[in-house]
Structure 1
Amino acid sequence: MLLLGPLGFAAPWLLGALIALPVLWVILRAMPPAPRRVIFPGVALLAGLVDRAPIASRTPWWLLLIRLAAVAAAILAFAGPVWRPVVQPAADGPLLIVMDAGFAAAPDWAARQTRVETALTDAAAAGRPAALLMADGRGQGALAFQPADALLSGLRAAQPQPWSTRLPDDPGAALADAPEGSLSTLWIADGTDHPNRAAWLAALADRGPVTVVPPARPLRTLALASGDTPSLTLTSVDDAAPAIQAIGPDPQGIERALASLTPGDATDADGLTVRPVAIDLPPELRNRITRFQIEAENHAGAVVLADDRVRRRKVALVGDPLAEGQQLLAQTHYLRQALAPTTDLVEGALGDVLDTAPDVIVLADQVQLAETLDLTQWVAEGGLLIRFAGPRMAGYDRLAEEPLLPVALRQGGRDIGGALSWGDPRGLAPFPDDGPFAGLPVPDDVSVRAQLMAQPAPDLAGRTIASLSDNTPLITRDRLGQGQVVLVHVTANAEWSNLPLSGLFPQMMERLVATARLSPSEAATEDLTQTFWTPEAVLDGFGRPAEAQGLTPVPAADLAQGTGPDRPAGIYAAGERRRALNAGGPFVRATWPGATVEAVAATPGRDLKGALLAAVALLLALDAIGSAWLGRGRRRGAMAAVALVLAMLPGPRAQAQDLDPDLMRAAADVALAYVVTGDARIDQASEQGLTGLSQALRSRTSVEPGQPIGIDLDQDDLSLLTFLYWPITDAQPAPAPQAYLRLNAFLRSGGMILFDTRDGDIAGVGGPDMSQALRHLAAPLDIPPLAPIPDDHVLTRTFYLLDDFPGRWQGNPVWAEAPTVSSQAEAGVPFRQLNDGVSPVIIGGNSWAEAWAVNADGYAAYPIGQGWEGDRQREMAARFGVNLVMYVLTGNYKSDQVHVPALLDRLRTEEILAP
């Protein structure tokens, strides 16, 4: 390649054609040839006349310049000009390509392969031997140098791995078979530092030049943060804060994003941006999450698999039950109400609940426990013990000897009515910013009337995580082995305070339970109870689920070291326990002393051939305009120029491009449509309802509708639609006459309108004549005679077998086109041939959209019924919606198919009876 400053030419030999430009100049100047002088006497009669359109005897200089410029531009274009090309230094020795193959290389893996393929192709053309080192931690032998083109097949089959990049331990042993001569190295880096990288860089720099290709995209990783409360940590090279998607199965079992988490404020850590991500989700939703993933990132380091550490805790509740009729006075009642929504509760005697391996044990006013030794061991191994005070603990005469207390206590407690009266009840002090209750608001009406007092001690303030307004401890905590003991200095019922009656109490209990470890024997790096962990599901380098094939159980000590070639990122099981091994986490940016680092922006270069060819076309157009102007006169030449310019302008857009993009999408994606009524609540319910119905269709059938669209009957075209949901409201204005023309054309062309009067809970009959608003809106439509849908209508069996069509309301008739008089039931045929096509309208009042509706998180937006009956009614409403859409799309197909068995039986009978 020839370089002239920032301009390079791929075929510089073509530039020699520029020498012909002076010759071309002379030739063009000589044309047209000089006229031959002929003497004709009659020419004297023309003396004095002026030619109004003279013809030049020579080509004008400006036209000649345009033509020469066009020829020069064509020569330059075919010479392969490139602006700021990347020119590799000439080398004739062996080539080594080091390709980082960890998860950090996955985002632009295809571009990395293309770059390496180009380098290998050039080396093969130059006859240079080459070797390819995939830095994935596998294959520790000496590198084999071979013809460069022999490495292409292995390069195309290579994939990034779900662990960080790993180089061989000994660079000298790996390069033992390198040919003699200067070794050129092309290092396709992922931007992170990893073991042995510095040693390899020094060894390669001693053997020859090293060129480093940095990653084109900034790296972002996600990790599960260490601490009492489960949370995530986002580490990135740039300052971006992408959303974190919480992915898991929805109620239908389809895996999708259930929620989106927002990263917190950024902090700088060694040139990297670190953001905390709180897992602030309801326990019911959090327990369904299988993984967290950075939005728009496709590598294993951007995925955090969820295990027991982010799921619902098992809490054991131990207390003395009161007599029948007094359950509402028991401390366990208040604890049950506070913990049941967020945990899995186990109740019983202490010895029994210890056998269930809970994460948390709550003791309500319990002392002198026979299982104290077992409980102490359970706490020391990582359990969380939460104790509540009470009259029994306050009156215990050996309270100072009671084990498993975070602080020493005074006997008798502190009571407003006793000898140690302390005046008015005390309120709560604001929670410390570094405690488990940080950020929780303190209600003004919460007060404490009695408490167990702690003995003064130098470390009492450090063990206090919540206190009263007079700075006396309300909740204290202390570590015991790998676990912790928490004491609440008041009762869990309303006997000593009204805290259990407030909304703050469940929040405080949820925060305390969240500080528990996974199980009593949990230890991140010293798990001696389980020796081996078996991989159940793993990820590939792109963060996609993969089969755990060919992997052996991993020792606990190796699992604690993180991901590697024999332990990819995934879920590992040991007995009933599940532990996630994730690839992401903090990383260190790589530096490259002594190597040449390519600028990412300058890597591809810019080809100028297209721009020069466009200039050639423009110059030729100018030449045509100038020639027409000279040859045909000024006026005709100007007209020709104008015509040529108009011909070069782009034509008007096609009529089809003027259609509403949403309508075009509806036709392409079979999107469901609803009529916009002007009532924001009704329109939102319609959109949510059709969204829920579309999700049901995608999960249960082969129909994959797009996002529903709202239709303005006065403006939008209906010719591209198939199904239209029309909720009827009393205040809805009638459409314009032109809209009714479009609606009638829509009905005649095979479309269907589902009229929903939404009054099934009021009218109770749901007929088409029961709604005055419906009669007013539907009067101009060409609606055929209607009748309640019979039991043998095709709508009852297009996909599901149904005998009712419930929505949010049920028990009301649904109306469709009435069957013809001739449609009689035939002997041996289970169903009549009703509605050979599709009924253009369906009318009912069961409020179907509200039954189908789902909110942004995929949950039902409106309540239906109670308990199991309500869930069944919602399911039957979804089945009716599926039947309805299948009926619209297939027509009488299902009706024909259901007759096939009866027709075959009839033919078989006739064959038997035939003589």
Structure 2
Amino acid sequence: MLVLGPIGFAAPWVLTALIALPALWLILRAMPPAPRRVLFPGVALLLGLADRSPVARRTPWWLLLLRLLAVAAVILGCAGPVWRPVAQAELDGPLLVVMDAGWAAAPDWSKRLARAERALKEADTQGRPAALLLADGRAEPAPLSFTTGERLLARLRAAQPVSWPSTLPEDPQDALSNQPDGRLTSLWISDGLDHPGRDLWRAELAARGLLRVHVPSRRLLSLELNDSDEPALLLHGATQGNRPAILAIGPDPQGIERELSRLATDGATVGAREDALVVPVTMPPELRNRVRRFQIEGQSHAGAVLLADDRVRRRKVGLVGDADNQAEGQQLLSPLYYLRRALAPSADLTEGGLGDVLDSAPDVVIVADQVDMADADELADWVRAGGMLIRFAGPRMAAYQDLTSEPLLPVMLRQGGRDIGGALSWGDPRGLLPFAADGIFSGLNAPPDVAVRAQLMAQPSPELSERTIAALSDNTPLVTRQRFGQGQVVLFHVTANPDWSNLPLSGVFVEMLERLVATAKVSARGPDSSDRAQPFWTPEIVLDGFGRSGAPDGLSPLPAEELDDGPGPGRPAGIYAAGERRIALNAGGPVTTATWDNAVIEQETQNAGLALRGYLLALAAMLLALDALGSAAILRGGRVLGAILLCLLCLPSPQAQAQDSSFLDPELIRAADEVALAYVLTGDAEVDRTSREGLQGLSFALRQRTSVEPGEPIGVDLDTDDLSMLTFLYWPVTDSQPAPSPLAYLRLNHFLRSGGMVLFDTNDGDVAGLGGPDMSQDLRRLAAPLEVPPLAPIPEDHVLTRTFYLLDDFPGRWSGNPVWVEAPPAAGQGDVTSGFRQLNDGVSPVVIGANGWAQAWAIDEGGYPRFPIRGGWEGERQREMAFRFGINLIMYVLTGNYKSDQVHVPELLNRLRIEEGGRP
């Protein structure tokens, strides 16, 4: 590129054409040959006469200047001028494009592809060999192949970001061993983060030649699960600037996946890392258990998605104690009954003996009044590995002779217990002290009506106060806790049933258990080398670099030890299963910005200069137009120019007329061009919104499954809009919409006669079915002025049943109601099976029903169904059948009744045989 001051030229050799401008000047102003003088006496009669239309002997200077300026503008435009271009070094060696392809590169992936493609094309134009290194870690270790840039474009355009960090080859010298001669020019399109091996590659590339680094300017955020007792998230990179919310996404009660909650980050505290915010998961347990993923609002990469696994969802709690049918008292006196009722809404429960419970890999084990257990050693190993053991006192524990030697107790206990409110005691039952503000039960209210009549006392010790997490009004411990290895043991000094207190009958008992269970580590026996560890983990759901979930096609089960390494090549971010356990490999983590020494930084927002080519060519066109007008003025003495100006002034200005306003409506023009589906505006905002979202969902299904690609739906005002450009009109019938004007009915009747269809939907299928073709009173009121043919329920052989799908029912949000179309001709008036009225190619001009099709088709901005249909699999099956009916209906409108001609196939074949001289 040639740079002259603030202007650079991409093709400076074109400027040599400017040399021809002086010669062009001489040619354009050349004089005609001088006339030969011949004496003729009659010329004397012409002396004194003036020539009213003189012909210039020379081209005027101003016209020459216009022409020369036009030619100069064309020459300068073809030279590729750029205002204030970015200075580029003259390069002649090979080019290497290194492109980070991890999840951090996903937000602006298209811009990265465009930058790499531009670099490869420039190298190809200059005849320089090029190589492409995608830092996704999936390629086998091998030297890079240097070839033409054109051959690399297909591979570049097919590249996609992965759901693990960018991964570079370990040995840069081995990868660059095939480098051609010359100084290497490297373009590193970085994702802005530091990765293992980056410094090694940076130093090697800087040593081999010029290293340019394309650095993004946007702020990168990522999401990680906080390793703490309380469920919380770590939002990395959000301590400065705006803090986006975190969306909790999962299925609603109807099974439709949508946003369940929004976690605000404005008041989040800074965690141990200064770049991370701790965002508590403040959701009810039953709602949190439905969450499938957390996602940073407005971020579209795998690092912004945190898949929810067992660590976020319901804990598995094992209950060990006397079975209900073996309890000494009634079933309501069994400790397990109260534990079961308290934990069932928020946890998965398993019951049985201690060995059976441990085999189920629980997160929490609750033992109710059990001592001297047979599998105590195995239980101790489980606790040390990270499990939580919750024990409850009782008569059996109080009477145990060797209570001081009982293992897995947080404090030393006294034998016999303490009777506070019994008949032989002098004291009154004790209440609860307020819970400590910094303890595990902080925020819970201690009810004043809770009374403890008996408890198991702890031996006094210096550690007793710090191990007490809940106490009675006399400061004696109610709940104690102690760490054992990676796990913990919690003891309630009262029974789990109302024998010793009314605590199990209060709401705070449920809250205390939920708080304890929520702080337990999930599945203490993780993927380790223990006897219960699963050797392989199978991927169930995987993410791509953009954070979109998909099926794990072609992925094999992973050994358990590889899960600790996080996402990587061959193990993308996703959900992995082993038996009943689910573990999530999430891509998000700390965000460490990369530094680039000995490199030329190329900012993403850096202005590459203003291209002047278009402006100069436009100037040349304008100058040539002025030249034409000037030439006409000279040749005709200004008469031609005046005539042109007069014609321009006399042109009539466009007048807007009411009857032509529809032709100027860009939405109607777009609807005709894109085959957009239309709906009638009723004046009810909610009904109109449902109609629009319903037709959006149907349009999406048509684009996905058929060759029809409708545009965005359009709302139609029957009183003002022209319907001649439309094909299909959805009309939801409501009791509040006014009847259209007489002119609107004229347009509607013309629409029906010219091949259009109206789908009337009374949407009352859940209240009452349709009793006949007259439909409801509101439908009669709205449809009375229309030229509607006789109607009948859709017969079994109607083409609507086989236009695209084979159907025998036409449900929407509701089902079981008849759908009415134009009735077939009566016997003796035509072939019933050949179709219906031939005015519209056999297409019924109206379809009437009450099944609420728009609600069944409706989708929200995220593409999820907006209205529930029944429940479970049957509801989704009905929604699918509603979409199939909609597709059949639109194909029926667009293609006519052609499929009914199949009944004539035998007759046509028979006629062909006769014409060919064969026998019928």
Please give the TM-score of this superposition, normalised by the length of structure 2. Answer: 0.74
Query: Aligned-pair distance for 1:780?
Result: 1.8
Distance 1:429 1:536, change over 3 A: closer
Residue identity matched to 1:611: Y
CA contact (8 A) 2:435 2:446 kept: no
Q: Partners in 2 of 1:685 and 1:145 — Cα distance?
A: 56
2:196 aligned with 1:195, yes or no?
Answer: yes
CA contact (8 A) 2:812 2:853 kept: yes
SS of the equivalent of 1:354 reads helix
Q: Partners in 2 of 1:7 and 1:515 — Cα distance?
A: 66
Moved more, 85-94 or 785-794: 785-794
* Match 1:450 to one of 443, 446, 452: 452
User: How do 1:836-847 residues align onto structure 2 when only pairs under 5 Å count?
Assistant: 837-843=842-848
* Match 2:361 to one of 343, 353, 357: 357
SS of the equivalent of 1:620 reads helix
Partner residue in 1 for 2:749: 744
Query: Aligned-pair distance for 1:613?
Result: 0.6
Q: Partners in 2 of 1:662 and 1:444 — Cα distance?
A: 66
SS of the equivalent of 1:164 reads coil
Query: Aligned-pair distance for 1:619?
Result: 2.3
SS of the equivalent of 1:822 reads coil
Distance 1:458 1:3, change over 3 A: farther
Query: Aligned-pair distance for 1:149?
Result: 6.3
* Match 1:560 to one of 559, 564, 567: 564
Distance 1:675 1:150, change over 3 A: closer
C-alpha offsets along residues 497-553 of structure 1, whole Å, 9 cap, x if unaligned? Answer: 688665x87676555444333323026899993555566776666667788788776
Partner residue in 2 for 1:774: 779
Query: Aligned-pair distance for 1:401?
Result: 6.4
Query: Aligned-pair distance for 1:81?
Result: 1.3
SS of the equivalent of 1:90 reads coil
Query: Aligned-pair distance for 1:9?
Result: 1.4
SS of the equivalent of 1:560 reads helix
Distance 1:3 1:840, change over 3 A: closer
CA contact (8 A) 1:248 1:258 kept: yes
Partner residue in 1 for 2:519: 515
* Match 1:117 to one of 113, 117, 120: 120
Gaps of at least 5 residues in structure 2 are 912-918
Residue identity matched to 1:79: A
CA contact (8 A) 2:698 2:887 kept: no
Partner residue in 1 for 2:888: 886
Partner residue in 1 for 2:80: 80
User: How do 1:261-280 residues align onto structure 2 when only pairs under 5 Å count?
Assistant: 264-265=265-266, 274=276
Moved more, 780-789 or 407-416: 407-416
Q: Partners in 1 of 2:446 and 2:814 — Cα distance?
A: 42
SS of the equivalent of 2:311 reads helix
2:381 aligned with 1:346, yes or no?
Answer: no
Partner residue in 2 for 1:375: 379
CA contact (8 A) 1:382 1:517 kept: yes
Gaps of at least 5 residues in structure 1 are 908-913
Partner residue in 1 for 2:916: none
Aligned-CA RMSD value? 6.0
Partner residue in 2 for 1:594: 598
Residue identity matched to 1:3: V
Q: Partners in 1 of 2:338 and 2:669 — Cα distance?
A: 55
SS of the equivalent of 1:594 reads coil
SS of the equivalent of 2:199 reads helix
Residue identity matched to 1:210: L
SS of the equivalent of 2:614 reads helix
Distance 1:480 1:759, change over 3 A: same
C-alpha offsets along residues 847-879 of structure 1, whole Å, 9 cap, x if unaligned? Answer: 666677778885674685xx89xx858855864
Q: Partners in 2 of 1:636 and 1:430 — Cα distance?
A: 98
Residue identity matched to 2:618: A
CA contact (8 A) 2:229 2:519 kept: yes
Partner residue in 2 for 1:226: 227
CA contact (8 A) 1:132 1:151 kept: no
Distance 1:77 1:905, change over 3 A: closer
Q: Partners in 2 of 1:738 and 1:215 — Cα distance?
A: 59
Partner residue in 1 for 2:315: 313
2:762 aligned with 1:756, yes or no?
Answer: yes
C-alpha offsets along residues 27-63 of structure 1, whole Å, 9 cap, x if unaligned? Answer: 66776999999998778978xx9x9999988766655
Residue identity matched to 2:604: V
Partner residue in 2 for 1:5: 5
Sequence identity of aligned pairs in percent? 52
CA contact (8 A) 1:792 1:832 kept: no
Distance 1:506 1:117, change over 3 A: farther
Q: Partners in 1 of 2:663 and 2:279 — Cα distance?
A: 44
Distance 1:204 1:487, change over 3 A: same
CA contact (8 A) 1:243 1:263 kept: yes
Partner residue in 2 for 1:621: 625
Q: Partners in 2 of 1:430 and 1:395 — Cα distance?
A: 32
Q: Partners in 2 of 1:437 and 1:747 — Cα distance?
A: 70
User: How do 1:296-307 residues align onto structure 2 when only pairs under 5 Å count?
Assistant: 301-302=303-304, 304-307=306-309
SS of the equivalent of 1:450 reads coil
Residue identity matched to 2:75: I
Moved more, 737-746 or 242-251: 242-251
User: How do 1:367-766 residues align onto structure 2 when only pairs under 5 Å count?
Assistant: 371-387=375-391, 403-406=407-410, 411-412=417-418, 419-421=426-428, 432=438, 448-450=450-452, 477-486=481-490, 496=501, 502=507, 512-522=516-526, 529-530=533-534, 533=537, 556-565=560-569, 567-572=571-576, 574=578, 577-602=581-606, 604-628=608-632, 637=641, 640=644, 658-659=664-665, 661=667, 664=670, 668=674, 671=677, 675-679=680-684, 711-719=716-724, 724=729, 726-748=731-753, 749-756=755-762, 758=764, 761=767, 766=771
Query: Aligned-pair distance for 1:386?
Result: 4.2
Residue identity matched to 2:190: A
Aligned residues: 884
Distance 1:224 1:780, change over 3 A: same
Residue identity matched to 1:776: R
Distance 1:630 1:692, change over 3 A: closer
Distance 1:655 1:716, change over 3 A: closer
Query: Aligned-pair distance for 1:588?
Result: 1.9
CA contact (8 A) 1:757 1:774 kept: no
Residue identity matched to 2:202: L
Distance 1:75 1:521, change over 3 A: same
Distance 1:772 1:201, change over 3 A: closer
